[in-house]
Each structure stands twice: as structure tokens, then as C-alpha cells.
Structure 1
Amino acid sequence: MTRQKTSHIFTKIALKPLNTNLFNIVLLSIFLTIGSCKIFGQDISKKKKTIPSTEQSKKAVATPNSKNQPSTLVVSNTDTIKKDSIPKKVLLDAKIKYNATDYVKIEQKKKLITLYNKAELYHTDTELKSGIIVLNYETNEVLAGRIKDSMGKPSQYPNFKQAENVIEPDSIRFNFKSKKALIWNSRTDQGEFKVKAVLTKKENDSVYFLKGARFTTSKDVDNPEYYFQTSKVKIIPGKKVVTGLTNMVIANVPTPIALPFAFFPMSKETSVSGILLPSYNDSNNRGFSLQNGGYYFALSDHYDLTVLGDYYTNGSYAMRFESSYAKRYSYRGNLNFRFENLINSERGYPDYSKQNIYNLQWSHSKDSKGSPNSSFSASVNMGSSKYYQQSINQSNIGSNLNNTLTSSVSYSKFFPATVGSRLSLSATHSQNTQTSEINMTLPDLQYSVDRIYPFVGKDGVKKGFFKNINLLYNLVGKNSFVTTDSLFFSKQMFDNAKIGMQHSIPLSTNFKVFKYFSASTAMNYNEVWTLKTIKRYYDKDQSEVIDETINGFDAFRTYNFSSSLGTTIYGTFNFKPDKKIKSIRHVMRPSLSYGYTPSFEKYYDTYATDASGTMTKDYTRFEGGVFGAPSNNNSNILGFDLSNTFEAKITDPDSTKVDPKKIMLLNNLNFSTSYDINADGKTTLAWAPVRVSGGTLLFKDKLNMNFGATLDPYAIDNAGNRINVYNINNGGSLFRMTSANMTLNYSISSKDADEKEKEGKNKEGQRNGGRDDDLFGRNTIDNIRGRSQFEDEDEDATDKISEFFASKLPWDMTLAYSLTYSNINRESKITGNSLMVSANGDLTPKWKVGVSTGYDFVLNGVTYTQLRFERDLLSWRMDFNWQPFGDQANWSFFIGIKSGILSDIKYDKRSVSNR
């Protein structure tokens, strides 16, 4: 066996040096033979049994394949020769699949496989595509590179993908076992960054070292408009990027902007905590400032927190806390709180002042999928009445012009049963920013039981007077406050609260009369509970009438009756067949109603109005209650209503269509008035003014027109009071127009086919109390968060620009006109007459402009005006906003990187008005 083993080795080696001389062959044979015998002799002395012959092991074999079909490489678990009875480790522990267009070359001696032209190689989670791939399946190394095309240019660059990481270099050398790699001129995406490096060393699956690297958010990593140049970079995919000395380069020109090191989080989570850099500004009466600096806390996957602050050198400061939260299939919302300590001028100067203002905003919505039988929603906007006018960091024109802040928080629950019921709890808030008056209800309780039909049979048919009789039960409880800014949530506010509860049971039915008339009748019973009443008397010591509050339970009960009768009348007016207008259809819906409420004098008392006690007046102790007070007047009123719609059929402009086209002439034209049967002609007049209202859409539904007027049949005296004399009998017309109004809204754009073009344009401005359009301008505070002032467009739109781009310039325009007439006291004048316009357009594919302005013809002045300019700088964005007129005149300039991860690299300059 010794000779057999030795000769086997000798023969194998002796076949190689065929061209060497005899001396070298003999010398080499002696040394190899001696070495082999010694090693083998040591093995024999330790063995007790002879080594049985083994079957020939499988060598690396590439399974044959047809062209363009993947081949499979299988590696055995044993070597051909056993040494020291220790089995050799497997180098490749999984199959390798490969493919190439031109050829696949296998070299058994060199353990190489060469793939050429559109080469592909797959191993576990690794994919490699390139022009040429050379695999050494003995050392587990693969080398991939480019090839030249027919024009002699490099093509088919390597594309290396491992798990979710993709690299596109010029060439790559990779080891399957150690997972290490050397990559030349690599290109890869890391989060929002595109990275290119001269040389990349892949240490393992989670660490990369780059040399001569540059990274950018530009789409073109080979020719970016800006990039960050650094000599050393460490990348942990999906987690972070750490660099050494980093220099910012713009248009291939190095800038003085440099950092000794940089850290960029690349977490796959929704967001990462980090510092928010402030912007610099200055003000004439507050000094220099740093605004919107702070920190962003990514607290969890469900909620976050942003803390922002402003500081002025005269001592003014502001703090803002903003939080967003969401849970899928459950709820979502955001909560913002803003506080500002405002100091004007300097202490000791006559214009020095100091005040605190605040604003709280909260919006919340619940997904109905989470709990179908309950809901919770919130829309809160409350705070100091002058916040939007005086804030040092607020540029929302629509909010500045808003005179009312409203809030609502509500919860509702449905209780399913044979007779279902609903419970609702809410809190409401209404605040007048001009008078600082606040009306608040906390809480507002409502409970109702579903409609019950007591006379319906087992068949469930509700037909006729009796079977349609139904009743409900409603419970309403309120705790109402009326206060001001200075007393908000103070003890006095709660002491003046109005508390009450109302029970109502309406009983109603409906039925047909003479086949064509629909009749309904109803009776309603109300019972009101209150915890506060008043006692009114004349105080001789103070010489005035005093209302003394009486705390304690009290109640009153009322009832009323109502009925109505209505029908629908159709009329069609046909024209000659050769006319363009074929017919006009008129639909009338007249309605006659009657309501009766008796007098509840039993709840009334009398009080003296002077010290003698001879002059008395009636009052009820329930005056000022949250649900009002019972009436001591008998109410007996007839109501008249008439609604109209007009439609036309015209010849369709499309000659291929046979049927005429329907168009709407008037969406609605309504008349309403009432007659008081119990009117005495002195304190009360019989006829109420006639109210006329209507609206329609014109010019292919682009023009929305609404109008209204009030027509009074009675004349007025010299003091402007209505008198019991018809206006026509007083030398006038049948009706005296006391007021009228008309509004027109017209919107056109280059994208009229897109009905959702303006949807969601200014949601934040609307939430702050502004308009949902941009007639008052747009919210320039968005620059702080790096959002564009214009609608987001298709990112590839700029790539589709033709040579003559002027053939398509997107634009849109909105016009609004308002006219108000007043003639209550024969003043006969126009009290409101204004025209507003907003227009946006693209001067070029990269330049956008916009304007919002208007003119008040009564005050003869320009309304709030905003000019907007924006330049798309590919990876950067620049815009300028200017409000040149009014107390809120200001301007802002912004330039910064679009990417959210680099949003702090910006220049944001904003003027601060002297408020």
C-alpha cells in the first residue's frame, strides 16, 4: 500500500514537468518520495486496521445545459484524497445557478467558470448580473466586470444584489464564504441618498467602508447638481452613514461648507429623532432672532413629538409642541400647542408692551373598522383671540382674516337592541376674535331612542294615518358658559354656568291626501329641568331692578302642534322641432304648514319697575336658561314655501347623437314667508318678509352663482320701524327690498378634466380657520417644514417636456365676486362689493408663479394680496412669497434641499411685521 500511494503521488507530479532536464526530475522525485514515506510511516504505526479502499468522490461537476438556460454547480462533501483521516470542509454549501448569452466556459484544473455577455449568477440571497463573470469555486471568489459593445464603449455594468442592498459598480470582487468584497466605482442607494465611491470594501453583510465617496439626493449620481465629498465613509445599510471630513460641492465647485464629520441616520423605521436647525431673522422692534429651532422625537411607531422654539434678542420667545399619532384601523390625529411671550420695543420706551398669547389645535378621527358601534372625533382650534394677528411666527393670511375660532369634540355610541338607542357626548367652543367673547358647552349630552311604530302589524307595513304614527324619545343635557379671554377657565366662568336638561317626546305621522298630496302632522311634548332660576324685583336701596339667582331644581313643561301639506307639480313647455331649445321643464314643490303653540302664562310673574310699585311687568323665572323660557304668547302661524327647478333640453352639439342634451337652468329658486293668525297689527304684523333665494351653475358648471333677497310687504315710518301699512298703499311698490346679496365663483384651469386638481390644496390653512382655497393666499409657514407652495406634480413631468415647452403651460385661475345691498331704513346702498382673484401658472417647466389679490369697490382699496414665485432646482427648491399691502405685509425667501433627511440644509429668511 505504501508503494501504491507513493507511486500515485509521484505519477501525478511527474506528468507536469515534461520540458525540464533529467537532473531536476530526479532530484525532485527523491525529496517528494522521502517526504511521503515519512508521513505515511507515522500513519501506519498508529493504525490497527488497514484502510479500506473508498469509492471515488464526486468532483465539482457543472450540469450540462442548453443555451440561455441556467446551470447548477454541485460541490461534494468529501475530497478525492484523504489526509490524516480528516475530511476536507465544504467550500460552497449551496447550489450556484449561472447563465450567459455567448458562452459558459468551465476549467476543471483551474476550478474556474467564465460567463460572458449578459452573465447571471445566483447563490443563496446573492444575485450578480454583469457583462463578464469569472467564478473560482475552489476559493469561493467571483470577479465581475464590464464588456465593450460594438462601438467600443463599456456596457453591461455589474449589478450586485444581496438581500435588499443593490450596488452598481464598474467591477466587483466578492467572496461567497467570507462575504467580503472589493468594489470599484460603486453606485448604490442608501435611503434617500445616492452614493458613489472610487473604492468600496464590503466587510460583511452589515458594514461597508468607502474611499473617495460622494453622496447626494440628486437623481443623477454621476452628474449631480450638488453632492457631499468625503474621503472616508462607513455605511451600515438601513441604519446609519458615518463620514470623515465632508465638503459640500455645488455644480462641481467646492464650497466653504464643511464638517469635520457627519452622521446620517438610515433607519428603516418611519422616522428618526434629530435636531431641527433654526433660521435667522431680524425685526425692527424685537431685534435679531433664531426661529424654528428644536428637536424631533420619534417616540414610537404610533406617535412622535416636535419641539420648536423662537428667541428674540429683546426677550421675546415662543414655544411650539406638535405631535402626530396614528394606529392602523383604529385612529389618527395631531395635537399642536403654541405659546408666545411677546415683548415690543425696550423697557423704558413709551411703546413698550408685554403680553402672552397661545393657541391649541387638535384633530382626531377614529376608523369605523375598529369599532363600528362607536365613534370619537375632535376638531379644536382655540386660544388667544389675537393670536393669528399678533403671532411672531405666523404667515397664514386666511387665518389672519378669520373672525371666529370654533371647536368640537364628540363621542357617540350606538346600543343595538330590539329598539336601538344612541348616546352622544360632545364639547363645543365658539370664539369671536374681535370681541373676545367665548361661548362654550362642556358637556353636551344627547340620548335618543329609535323611532317606534306602535300600530304597525306583524306584516311590518307602514301605510295610512294610524300605521304611520310613530314616537321618539330625546334627551339633551347642557352645561353652557359665556365668558371672555381673560376669564377663560377661571372660577367666575364656572360660577356663571347655565345647566339644564330637556326631555322631548315627538309624536308624528304622515299620509296621502287625494292621492297627490303628502300630509304630515306632529305633536311635541317638552320638559325642561334647570338648576338655576331668577327672582326679579326692584331694589329701593340701589334704585334699580335686580335679578337674584336662585340655585335649586326647577322645571317647566310645554307642548305644540304642527302639520304640513305639500305636493309636486311638473310642467313641460315644448318648442318647435327646428329650434335649438327643444323643451323647458319646470318642477314646483309648494308646501303649506301650520304651527300652534299655546300660551304658558302660569310660569310668569310680575315685578315692579319703580319704587312706587304701580308700574309692573311680566317675567318668568326661567329667563336666561340654557333651553330658553316658555312663551306667554299664543302662536298661531301659517307658513308658505315654494321651491322651483328649471331644466332644458337642447340640440346636442355632437351631431352623431340623436337624443337632445339636458342642461340645468336653475338648480333652485325658493320663496318662503309666513302669516301670523294672532297678529294684532300693533306689536306684531301678520305677514313676515318674503325670502327669495336661488342658485345655478353656468358655463359647463364652471360658474357657480348664488343669490338671495328679502322682500317686505310693509312700509316703514320715519324712524325706520315697520308699520301696519302695506308698502303699495304707501306710494311704493308691492314689496320693499330690504336686503339682497349675490356671489359668483368661477374656476378654470388647463386641467379642467381633472376634477380633483385642487383637492387638499391648503388643508392646514383651513384647519387654522382660513379658506380651503387660495383667494387669501397660501400658508407660507409651510417653508419651515420644506413643503412646496404649489401642488405636487408628477416627478417625471419635467422629463416629458418637448422642445417647444410653451405649447403646454399648466395654469389655473379662480375668481370670486360678492355684492351686498342694504335698504332696511331707506339707505339704499351697496354695503359690500368686492372682486377676488387667484391665479397660478408655469412660466417655464421650472418656474411657477402665483398671485392672490382683489379689490374692494366700497372701500376703494386693494384687498390682501400675495405674490408667489417658485423655482424647481432639481434636488433643491427655491421660493419667494410677498404680501405687499396691509397690516400683515411681509415677505419670505426660502432655498433648501427637497429631501427630508437634509431639510436642515436651507436658507430661510422671513420679514417680521411690527405687530
Structure 2
Amino acid sequence: MRTNLFHIVLSAIFLTTGICKMSAQETPKSGEFRKAENKEISEPEIPDTTKIVIPEQPKALKNDTNKKRSGIDAPVKRTAKGYESYDVRTNKATLYDEAEVYYKDIELKAGIIVFDETKNEVFAGRIKDSLGNYTQYPYFKQGTQVVEADSIHFNSKTQKARVWNSRSNQGEFWVYGEVSKKENDSVIFIKNARFTTSKDTEHPEYYFQTRKIKFVPGKKVVVGPTNMVISDVPTPIGLPFAFFPMTEKATSGFIMPTFGDNQNQGYFLQNGGYYFALSDYYDLAVTGDYYTNGSYGLRAESQYAKRYKYRGNVNLRFENIIQSERGFPDYTKSRQYNIQWSHSQDAKASPNSRFSASVNLGSSQYFRQSLNTINVGSSLNNTLSSSISYSKTFQTVPQVNFSLTARHSQNTNTESITMSLPTLQASVDRIFPFAKEDEPKKGFIKNINLQYSVRGENSFQTTDSLFFKPEMFRDAKTGLQHSIPLSTNFKVFKYFSVSASTNYQETWVFNTIEKKYNTTTGEVDTRDLKGFDSFRTYNFSSSIGTTIYGTFNFGEDKKFQALRHVMRPSVSYSYTPAFDQYYDQYQLDASGENYVDYTRFQGGLFGAPSQNFANSVGLGLNNTFEAKMRNDDESSDEPKKVMLLNNLNFTTSYNIAADSLAWAPLRVTGGTTLFKQKLNLNFGATLDPYAIDNGGRRIDVYNIDNGGSLFRLTSANVTMGYSISSTDGQAGAGKNKDEQTARNGGRDDDLFGTGVDMSDQRQSMFNDDDEEKSDKSGGTFYNSTFPWNFRLAWSVTYNNSNRQSEITNNSLMVSGNVDITPRWKVGISTGYDFVNKGVTFTQLRFERDLLSWRMDFNWVPNGYNKYWGFFIGIKSSILSDIKWDKRQVPDRRIGN
């Protein structure tokens, strides 16, 4: 009980000055009272004192002859449904029946409130109703602290108090005490107490029972011999004493590990460590794993935030993984690490500059070899990527933008790494030299505009084994590229939009090559040259396009009333000259007759100038199809619009300068959403007008002239995603977001499974809405509808570039969750590869809400990540160490 009841006595001063009646002839009788406000005034009546229940009071403390009254520095409000009275002879003020007193942040409610001014004592108690049952129990609130009791007895002079059968909430605890004794402002003793985190305060499913408690408000709770009681049945689980910190601020403390055993690594402890509450702005959690075969893992995670400035987190992870025993042929030892950093800046912090970071780098095999089950959902990741950027805008005329970015991309299959440290980009805003700033930009001349931009990059190509080693920096490529685009746009014949542009680029490099035939070895040697060099290129392009609308009406009396077709045809032209001046020759063999052209800029950071003359025309057609349907909703007479195809695109080009194979393959792409936007469907196909020879090479003969069809289908792909739930995305379908797996580079849903950290109480399939519904239903079975959700992803790729006509990829992934009862959830993530004919990653999830407790079971039955884990424990973070879990970590020898 954190409250200070001293301020209650201030209400008595108000009662004394507001209720006391003066008489010049006689003193009022001792039982006279004044009725509460807002009631009709009638003749005084003697109250039914049998309804006033005041338990036997403790011995009154010695009165202070030099009695002082405390001043009131804020309004005092009071009310009583029955009556308010002041007995001048005994100096007692009484509020009876729904008595309430309000002063500052203090709120006191009771059946009866009595203030004895002579003894400086305040009493609040319950009363009996007409049936003889106790009602209107005292309720005391100060700030966020609430105390409910059978009676409260307080001495305003000594600041001591006694409370019978108190019920109060202290943080996550509900504390019940038979007798509570307040010694002073900082210490409270409770006798025969029980405490629990159960929401059912009347009949908790579990509680801890102890004979005595010492409570220091806002600091700590110290208890004596304590015994756990489950469903009112005492258990042998107990402690000789216990200590609980009680503070609203974060505090440092140990993180208890979970335990288990594995046939390869032996017995282990996972996720144990220490939490450091460093300040209000940042913290640090250091955890680790240990396995009896010598394997271990270390992690350090810190979160930081400053309101209206920034927020972020840092996660450093390392694992030393040992397989088998030293001396055995299958003995292996590997060290894997992962670094994550996320930083975001509040938009209010600086409107003209911004810093952000999203880092995820480390060993390519970290998530696949990690022994910690929290990484299971990320084991399918194929790429890791990072970006750290700083940008600034200079509010000049024209505006100047500047940015510095460090990027990283890593393929976990090939273990190749591409990194830029850093990338510099700067640009000057668009300038219209032939138009005034305040006039509209219309026509060919006034729409002419130009820009300037520069891009500088320092790029590295390396692998896991050479990451941040001297070899990585030795092969760095550095360069800058300047671009000046000049463009304009205008309309012709009212309906056609025309755009024209030319682009000049100048590229500076510090890495070139030289190729020479080595007469000694008989091979061509390539020598890297360091030093400044440059080349210049330019091109021209233009396009013309329009929009055509077509509507086909079928009648307003029909279900399908109309079809709308929107076409956006476009024709483009591009011209790029050949830059032969940047090309040299080298001798191919010892004959001295065979020479090959090459450019010293080959393999450069920004590519190389082209030796081929390009003069091509591009054709494109974009289509959308929309239907107008009769609305079955009786509340609306307007028809509804349904999108049939979001896009259907056809693109190809014709190279005027080519002497053969001038037509490029026709590319067809499309996509749509169906079933109230729950199904996303995308498809694409490549159609080649030319035939191929027996060796699979394209020949300058149309496929239709070679005995085939007009086009030859060389490749096609279809992807589909479907998501549906019984509540259409509303609450009750369970949690399906996995933020840590998304940070690791995977998906944020459960389609490819989720990471599992059974020691983290926040990782639950239940959310707050689910628990509220469970409380209302009592956990019984659903009457008719089971809340559920379902996700599906399907991908198929067809390849026929060389008449092989084969499906190269055909995989299906599904995930689903269902609530069997309001307190039972079951989930599954699985899939099937139709090409390799095998089941993909499969995960089964079971979770039971046990009110104040949580139980879950996770199981991956097969494959490289095969594991299982069982957990049962108290939900409350303050009692999170009261748990039992058993797990088997994945056996990483499989597939190695």
C-alpha cells in the first residue's frame, strides 16, 4: 500500500467548517444531522444505527494537547447518499451510505467514513444492506495506487494505520492481506498475505501464500516462508524467503537460462545472462549459451531511444560451434557471427538532414548453423543486406541534395559479398532556363530543363573468407560519374504526349586494365593499372504515347453491367553512337594474325563505353480491365467497380542498326488481385519471334517460317499469394508477425516458419484481444465459428530456351493458424517442392493460454532444422523465472 492516508483528515476540516451549526440560545442535540445536498429538506430523523458496522477499534493513541489543524491547499469534495453529520459534543464527523471524499489525487469511498477530531483518527468501513449482507467496502485511491479493504483505521498524527483484509495492486502483483500495518510513510507490514498475478482477483488460479510481508512502497517486497498454491491446493513448491523489486523504472538483473540436451552438443543452457538498465535512454542485455561439448554462444543487444530525436537497436551475436568429439573423423569446429543495427531518425529532429541505418551482416552460414532455436525461422534466408546513409538538403536556388551511403549485399549460398564504402551522390534540382520561375511550363521551349548529378563509389568484391582482410581492400574499385540530362515534354494534336531527352555522362575511374600476349607463356596476360582515366558518352531518346478509353455496356439489368478497357500505347526511339576511340587490340595467339578488340575500361565500376552502334525503336502497350457489377448491398443503389486486371503489358523493340535478329523477344507481364484483394496473381512470359538451330542458337529466320508458330515460348513464370482469415484481418486470428526473423532478412509472417525463443514471454500466438475474448467466454469451446487464418504462396517457372520444355521451379508454401477454443491455438507452416519431390520446411505450433500461465509446444518434425521444444511458465515478467521447459536443438550434422 503505497498511499499516504494523512490527507484524508483535511476533509474533516471542510466538514467542520461547512456543517457546524451555530445557536445563540441552546446547543443542538447530539444526534442532530444535516442531510446530503440535492435532497428535499424534512424534519430530522434519528438514523438507523444498526446499519453502521464499525469493528472494534484499537486502543486510541495519546492525545496531543497542543492540537493543530492542517490547512487545506486544494478544494475538498465530499458526498453521501444517506447523511452527513457532525457531533459537536464528541467532535466526530460522519458520512454515511455511499460516502465519498475527494482531495487532490486522493479518492476515498466507503459505506461509512468517520473522523474523530479529538483522537485524530479516521475510520472507513463497510455497512450492511437491508438483507444483512456487507456492502460498500472501503476503496482508497491515490494516483494509480488502489487499496480495497474491509475497514481502514488511520491516525493522522502518528501517520500509523491498520487495514483489515486489504486488496491492492502493486505493479503486476495483486496483494491480499489479513491485517496490514502502516508504520510510517515508507514501511508497511502485512500479516497472513497472499500475492498473485492472476486477473481473477476473487478466485485466482494460483497464488503464493506467506505469513508475513515487509513492503517498502515503490522499492521492494520482502516475504518470509512462502508456499505456492494452485487451485486452492498447496504444493510442495516453496521458498524460505523471497525478494521482489518494486519499481516503475527498469532495473538491472539476471536473466535465467533455459536448459535441455542434444545428442551432439550434450546438455546445454540457453539465453541466460544479465540485463543492464543503464539509463532511461538505452539498455543492454548480455546473454549466452553453453553446451557441455564445448560449444558456446554470446549475444549483446541494446535498445536506445530519445523522444522526437531517434530510436534504434544493436544486436551482436557470436557462436562457437563444435560437432562431434576431437579425434573423430566427423569432428568440425566453426565460428559464426552476425551484426545487426537499426537506427531511425524522427522527422521532427531535423527537416533538412537525415541519418538512418539498417545493418545485417555476418557469416553466411550463421542462421543455418546456429544452435539457438530463435534463428530457426531465418535458416532459409538467401541474402543479407545493409545500408547506412546520411542525406542533407541545402535550401538554395536551385536546391542541392547530398548523400553518403554505405551498402552491403551478401549471398549466403555462394558466400560472395559486394560492398560500397561509401557511395557519394549529389544533385542539383531541375533548372528551366527558358521559363520564368513563376510562369507555367508549357510548350517545347519552356519545358526544356536540365539537371546535374554526380555519383562516386568505392566498391569491393570479396567473399566470407576475405571479408575485411587486406585482400579485400587491395581489389577495391573507385570511380565517379557525372551526368547532365537535358529533357523536355509537350503535347501534339491535343491527345499525344511527347518527351525528348539527351544525356551526357563523363566517367572518371582509377582502375583500368591492359591486355597483352605473353610470348613466353603463350597466354594473354591482363594487368591491372592504377591511376586516373576517363571516358565520355552521350545518347538521345524520345517517346510518344496516349491513352485510349473503351467501355462496353451490357445493360443495367444484368449482373455484369459494363467492361472498361484502358490502353496506353507508346512508341520510343533511342540512339547511342559507337565509342570506338576507347577500344584497343591485343594479339590472341602466336600467329600474329588474330587480334581482338578490348577496352581498358572493361569491368569498370560504372561499366564500359559501348562499341556497338545502337539505333532502336521500342513498342509498348499497357492495358487495364475493370468491370462494373450490380451491387447486392441493398443499402446502396450504385454499382460497384471490380478490377479484373491491374496491368497487362506488352513490350518489344526493333534495332534499326542490326543486320540480323533485329526484333527483340516480346515480353508479356500481368497481374491482378481477386477475392476482395486477398489473392495476388502475377505472371510473365517471353515470346521469341525467331527460330533456333539444332545447337540452340537463335537464327535469322522467323519461327513461323521454320514450321512453328508465330512466337516461340522461351520462358514463363507465375507467382500467387493468398491470404484469408475468418475475421478478414480483424483481431482474433492470432499474431503472425515475426519482427526478429524479418530483421534477420526473412519474412515477417509465418509462411516460412517463425523463430522460437521460449524464454521470451512476449513471443506468443495470443494478443490482447484474444485474451479479452477468452476471459469473456470462460475458455469454453466456440459455438459455431473457429477463428482462423490461412496463407498460401505458389511459384512456378517454365524454361524452353533450347527446346527442353521443363519446369525448373514449382513450389508451394502454406501456413495457417486456428483457435480450437479461446485458449487453444494451433499453427502450421509447411510446403512442397514438386520439382525435387520433397516436403519443405515444416513447423507445428501449439499454444495453450492458462490464464496467468502459458504453455506451448513447437515441433519441426524433419529436415535440417529438426527440433522440438516444450514450455510452461507464468506470463508475468516479474515471475518469468517460474517455468519449466524442455527442448531438443537442431542437429547441424545433417546435410553438412
Q: Same fold (TM over 0.5)?
A: yes
Provide the residue aligned with 2:616 in structure 1. 637
Aligned: 1:119 with 2:99: yes
Provide the residue aligned with 1:462 in structure 2. 441
Q: What amino acid maps onto 2:685 in structure 1?
A: A
Secondary structure of 2:760 counterpart:
helix
C-alpha spacing 1:879/1:464, structure 2 compared with 1 (3 Å)? same
Aligned: 1:788 with 2:764: yes
Moved more, 170-179 or 838-847: 170-179
Provide the residue aligned with 1:889 in structure 2. 866
Q: For residues 254 and 455 of structure 1, what CA distance do their matches in structure 2 show? A: 90
The count of residues paired between Structure 1 and Structure 2 equals: 840
CA contact (8 A) 1:500 1:626 kept: yes
Secondary structure of 2:35 counterpart:
coil
Deviation at 1:755, TM superposition (A): 9.5
1:266 to 246, 255, 261: 246
C-alpha spacing 1:266/1:175, structure 2 compared with 1 (3 Å)? same
Secondary structure of 1:895 counterpart:
strand
C-alpha spacing 1:867/1:767, structure 2 compared with 1 (3 Å)? same
Map residues 278-293 of structure 1 onto 2, 5 A cutoff.
Answer: 278-293=257-272
Map residues 602-641 of structure 1 onto 2, 5 A cutoff.
Answer: 602-641=581-620
Provide the residue aligned with 2:194 in structure 1. 214
Query: What do residues 180-220 of structure 1 show as CA deviations (whole Å, max 9, x unaligned)?
Result: 11111111111111111111111223321112222111112
Map residues 146-545 of structure 1 onto 2, 5 A cutoff.
Answer: 146-269=126-249, 271-457=250-436, 459-545=438-524
Moved more, 744-753 or 187-196: 744-753
Q: What amino acid maps onto 2:882 in structure 1?
A: I
Deviation at 1:398, TM superposition (A): 4.0
Q: For residues 121 and 737 of structure 2, what CA distance do their matches in structure 1 show? A: 56
Aligned: 1:733 with 2:701: no
**Which stretches in structure 1 are left out of the alignment for 5+ residues?**
1-57, 72-85
Q: What amino acid maps onto 2:655 in structure 1?
A: D
C-alpha spacing 1:602/1:580, structure 2 compared with 1 (3 Å)? same
Q: For residues 756 and 143 of structure 1, what CA distance do their matches in structure 2 show? A: 47
Q: For residues 760 and 789 of structure 1, what CA distance do their matches in structure 2 show? A: 7
2:684 to 700, 708, 718: 708
Secondary structure of 1:466 counterpart:
helix
Provide the residue aligned with 1:699 in structure 2. 675
Aligned: 1:67 with 2:35: yes
Deviation at 1:858, TM superposition (A): 2.1
Provide the residue aligned with 1:811 in structure 2. 788
Query: What do residues 301-325 of structure 1 show as CA deviations (whole Å, max 9, x unaligned)?
Result: 1111000011111111100011111
Q: For residues 587 and 99 of structure 1, what CA distance do their matches in structure 2 show? A: 72
Provide the residue aligned with 1:677 in structure 2. 656
Q: For residues 263 and 840 of structure 1, what CA distance do their matches in structure 2 show? A: 40
CA contact (8 A) 2:735 2:767 kept: no
Provide the residue aligned with 1:46 in structure 2. none
Moved more, 194-203 or 833-842: 833-842
Q: What amino acid maps onto 1:68 in structure 2?
A: A
Moved more, 149-158 or 516-525: 149-158
C-alpha spacing 1:259/1:59, structure 2 compared with 1 (3 Å)? closer
1:900 to 868, 871, 877: 877
Deviation at 1:123, TM superposition (A): 5.8
Query: What do residues 297-354 of structure 1 show as CA deviations (whole Å, max 9, x unaligned)?
Result: 1111111100001111111110001111111111111110100111111111111111
Moved more, 421-430 or 905-914: 905-914
Deviation at 1:171, TM superposition (A): 1.2
C-alpha spacing 1:755/1:711, structure 2 compared with 1 (3 Å)? farther
Q: What amino acid maps onto 2:835 in structure 1?
A: V
Q: What amino acid maps onto 2:669 in structure 1?
A: S
Moved more, 289-298 or 698-707: 698-707
CA contact (8 A) 2:825 2:848 kept: yes
Larger radius of gyration: 1
Provide the residue aligned with 1:772 in structure 2. 748
Deviation at 1:262, TM superposition (A): 2.1
C-alpha spacing 1:388/1:597, structure 2 compared with 1 (3 Å)? same
Q: What amino acid maps onto 2:66 in structure 1?
A: K
Provide the residue aligned with 1:49 in structure 2. none
Aligned: 1:101 with 2:81: yes
Q: What amino acid maps onto 2:624 in structure 1?
A: T
Provide the residue aligned with 1:565 in structure 2. 544
Deviation at 1:890, TM superposition (A): 1.0
CA contact (8 A) 1:782 1:788 kept: no
Provide the residue aligned with 1:47 in structure 2. none
Query: What do residues 782-833 of structure 1 show as CA deviations (whole Å, max 9, x unaligned)?
Result: 6535420344425421233288732342111122222221111111122222
Q: For residues 500 and 230 of structure 1, what CA distance do their matches in structure 2 show? A: 74
Secondary structure of 1:799 counterpart:
helix
C-alpha spacing 1:97/1:758, structure 2 compared with 1 (3 Å)? closer
C-alpha spacing 1:245/1:564, structure 2 compared with 1 (3 Å)? same
Q: For residues 730 and 896 of structure 1, what CA distance do their matches in structure 2 show? A: 73
Q: For residues 78 and 430 of structure 2, what CA distance do their matches in structure 1 show? A: 74
What is the aligned-residue RMSD (CA, Å)? 2.3
Secondary structure of 1:450 counterpart:
strand
Provide the residue aligned with 1:40 in structure 2. none
Provide the residue aligned with 2:10 in structure 1. none
C-alpha spacing 1:255/1:539, structure 2 compared with 1 (3 Å)? farther
**Which stretches in structure 2 are left out of the alignment for 5+ residues?**
1-14, 22-32, 40-63
Secondary structure of 2:472 counterpart:
helix
C-alpha spacing 1:627/1:601, structure 2 compared with 1 (3 Å)? same
Q: What amino acid maps onto 2:440 in structure 1?
A: V
Deviation at 1:114, TM superposition (A): 3.0
Q: For residues 106 and 834 of structure 2, what CA distance do their matches in structure 1 show? A: 73
Q: For residues 567 and 891 of structure 1, what CA distance do their matches in structure 2 show? A: 60
Provide the residue aligned with 1:140 in structure 2. 120
Deviation at 1:118, TM superposition (A): 1.2
Q: For residues 772 and 120 of structure 1, what CA distance do their matches in structure 2 show? A: 52
What TM-score do the two structures reach when normalised by structure 2?
Answer: 0.90
Provide the residue aligned with 1:864 in structure 2. 841
C-alpha spacing 1:166/1:284, structure 2 compared with 1 (3 Å)? same
Moved more, 885-894 or 59-68: 59-68
Q: For residues 462 and 455 of structure 2, what CA distance do their matches in structure 1 show? A: 22
Q: For residues 707 and 595 of structure 1, what CA distance do their matches in structure 2 show? A: 28
What TM-score do the two structures reach when normalised by structure 1?
Answer: 0.88
1:688 to 664, 684, 687: 664
Provide the residue aligned with 2:49 in structure 1. none
Identity of aligned residues (%): 62
Q: For residues 20 and 448 of structure 2, what CA distance do their matches in structure 1 show? A: 87
Query: What do residues 581-607 of structure 1 show as CA deviations (whole Å, max 9, x unaligned)?
Result: 222111100111111111111111111
